[in-house]
């Protein structure tokens, strides 16, 4: 099994409604996201997926978040834009994009890790 990981940053603000502490106030982060894709197969070049293609996919997924107030996104209109929920959304978006890649049907998403600060992260994966 191969696991390919790409990372990208984005900047965004958010607030956690009903949170007992400073995070209830509007504040920003320089978020870091790592997406891991797994496969048992390699193409004729010996690649699971071209890093450029994986990075572009992640860039496209994160474009909805970059330089926004996450609370203003329709995606989070009924829930807090927590690190956990961001990780799950990114996971599902990448999963759907991989399913649409008919030239590489063997690729599946393994996990998504989102850091809201250098020492604080959340990893989301589906159970087998």
Q: What is the mean pLDDT of each run of 10 residues along the chain (128 residues)?
A: 96 96 95 96 89 96 98 96 98 94 82 96 91
At residue 122, the pLDDT reads 98
The three-state secondary structure class of 70 is: helix
Quote the number of domains for the chain: 1
Q: With b meaning 16 or more CB within 10 Å and e meaning fewer, what string describes 7-23?
A: ebebebebbbeeeeeee
Instruction: Give the pLDDT confidence score for residue 79 in this predicted structure.
Output: 96
Task: Tell me what pLDDT residue 12 has.
Answer: 98
> Which residues constitute the domain of residue 13?
2-124
Please tell me the predicted confidence (pLDDT) of residue 90. Answer: 98
- The CATH code of the domain that includes 77 is 3.30.479.10
């Amino acid at each position: 099994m191969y696991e390919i990981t790409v990372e990208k940053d984005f900047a965004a603000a958010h607030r956690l409604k009903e949170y007992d502490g400073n995070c209830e106030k509007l504040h920003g982060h320089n978020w870091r996201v790592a997406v891991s894709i797994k496969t048992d197969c390699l193409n004729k070049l010996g690649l699971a997926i071209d890093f450029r293609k994986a990075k572009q996919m992640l860039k496209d997924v994160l474009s909805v978040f970059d330089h926004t107030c996450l609370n203003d996104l329709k995606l989070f209109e009924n829930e807090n834009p927590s690190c956990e929920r961001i990780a799950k959304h990114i996971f599902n978006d990448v999963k759907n994009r991989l399913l649409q890649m008919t030239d590489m049907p063997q690729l599946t998403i393994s996990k998504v890790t989102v850091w809201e600060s250098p020492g604080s992260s959340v990893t989301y994966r589906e159970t087998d």
